[in-house]
Amino acid sequence: MTQHTVHRFDEELENIRNRVMGMGGLAEQQLNNALQALIVGDSALAKTVKKNDRQMNQMDLEINKNCTLLLARRTPVAFDLRLVLSASKIVNDLERIGDESKKIAKVALMGFQSTQDTGPASSLEDMGEQVKRMLHKSLDALARFDALSASELYKEDRKVNNYYNAILGDMLITTMRGKHQNTSDILCICWVTRALERIGDHCRNIGEHVIYLVKGEDVRYAHFTEDPGNAPEQLP
């Protein structure tokens, strides 16, 4: 980050960045706790996830307010402008990740455990680990302004999608063969799988915002993320 003549401007930019990273840390904690609650059937932990979702929402509001005020007072340009715009978009994705984690916690509160003998449900834990790695990688790329690492999230999201398709496919086959009698288990697996798939999408979005921040290029529809070498050089 560049240094400005007005030191207060630097402090405001750093404050926004720190708040975004703090929200990212909470998003990681929410996902970890939700998955842990699902695995071991910990209802107390699941309730904590639901409670902390309010904090995620509040952080989203406060960071967006700070971004708006900074745009109005400082009229940033170049990298500084991209930092503020990206921060506003990233916190939206983090808030959505919090929402999806809360959905997983709700499933845990219904008494479902991913470790029970329900066929395709055994793959949920592996999918959860993949999504956790993806979230950590997206936040690490943001912290280090690493566009190359951010671009790799596109391929990581494909792995999550493969889990999603495989689990739902196995569930469909199992159901058609009449091996599943518990409709509640089927719905729980579908809800959790969908929530994890959506979190993967939001992690990929964060990666795209990091590329925009560093490179100054919007790659949401250009598929530059498939080949990082196609990305333009860093802008001022």
What's the CA gap between 102 and 135, in Å, rounded?
A: 16
pTM, full prediction? 0.89
Report pLDDT digits (tens) over 25-41: 999 999 999 999 999 99
Task: Measure the CA–CA gap between 115 and 8, rounded to whole angstroms.
Answer: 52
Contacts of 105 (CB under 8 A, 6+ apart): 33, 34, 37, 38, 45, 46, 47, 49, 50
pLDDT of 3 > 70? The answer is no
CA-atom Rg of the chain in angstroms: 20
Question: How far apart (Å, rounded) are the C-alpha atoms in residues 228 and 230?
Answer: 5
Q: Is residue 159 scored above 90 in pLDDT?
A: yes
Structural domain boundaries in the chain: 7-230
Mean pLDDT score of the chain:
89
- Tell me the pLDDT band of 122, cut-offs 50, 70 and 90: confident
Task: In the chain, count H helices and then E strands.
Answer: 7, 0
User: 7-230 has which fold?
Assistant: Methane Monooxygenase Hydroxylase; Chain G, domain 1 (1.20.58)
Largest Cα–Cα distance of the chain, in whole Å? 71
| Residue 4: pLDDT band with limits 50, 70, 90 | low
